[in-house]
């Protein structure tokens, strides 16, 4: 008597297709969509939260559904689209800095200033003039030995809590013929 046993093969190889490249990943038919996203993250480093997967033109929405339920078989191609990162998600925070004037300006005094890290340098200057911390004039602000651009935020300049910002009278001109 001859008995034949059928071994169910649950492992399969699928192709993950990005806009500019393809990778192949071994998965199990009973793997969930979430576990596939985790494998893609491990192999490629792509953020799981940003991934949207499509199979045969249909978005795969249920993270807890088996790949087999989606009709994925050996050699299937799954397209990955990445959601854009939201710029709104970055919270603003308050930063406390020490503004130090040059010795020729107010005898090199130090003044604590608290602002939102999204405030621009020109807003910090205006606030200091309005509060009479600085006299009305033109100033150059320096952070970590770099001239700060008036139209850029404190965050853009990398200003952190406790940092020193130095103030000098004057203006910066760019270009010119020598």
Contact by Cβ (8 Å): 160, 94: no
Domains in the chain with CATH codes:
11-82 (3.10.20.90), 94-169 (3.10.20.90)
Q: Locate tokens 């503004």: which residue? A: 99
Average pLDDT, the chain: 86
Q: How many residues does the chain have?
A: 178
- Residue 71: its pLDDT value, please? 94
Of the CA atoms within 13 Å of residue 6, those in its CB half-sphere come to: 2
What pLDDT does 88 receive?
55
pLDDT computed for residue 38 by the predictor: 93
Amino acid 151: pLDDT: 86
Dihedral through CA 45, CA 50, CA 54, CA 60, nearest 10? 110
For the chain, which residues score pLDDT lower than 70? 1-8, 85-90, 174-178
Instruction: Provide the pLDDT for residue 130.
Output: 93
Strand residue runs (E) in 9-145: 11-17, 22-28, 51-55, 58-59, 77-82, 94-101, 110-116, 139-143
CA angle 75, 78, 81 (to 5 degrees): 160
pLDDT digits (tens, 9 = 90+) for 117-140: 889 999 999 999 999 888 888 889
């Amino acid at each position: 008597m001859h008995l034949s046993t059928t071994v169910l093969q649950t492992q399969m190889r699928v192709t993950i297709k990005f806009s500019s490249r393809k990778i192949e990943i071994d998965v199990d038919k009973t793997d969930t969509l979430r576990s596939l996203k985790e494998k893609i993250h491990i192999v490629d480093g792509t953020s799981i939260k940003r991934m949207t997967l499509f199979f045969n033109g249909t978005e795969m929405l249920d993270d807890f559904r088996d790949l087999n339920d989606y009709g994925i078989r050996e050699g299937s191609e799954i397209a990955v689209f990445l959601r854009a990162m939201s710029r709104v998600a970055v919270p603003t925070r308050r930063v406390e800095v020490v503004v130090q004037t040059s010795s020729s300006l107010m005898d090199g005094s130090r003044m604590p200033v608290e602002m939102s890290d999204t405030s621009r340098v020109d807003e910090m200057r205006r606030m200091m003039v309005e509060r009479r911390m600085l006299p009305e004039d033109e100033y150059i602000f320096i952070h970590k030995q770099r001239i700060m651009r008036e139209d850029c935020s404190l965050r853009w300049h990398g200003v952190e809590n406790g940092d020193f910002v130095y103030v000098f009278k004057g203006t910066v001109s760019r270009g010119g013929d020598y």
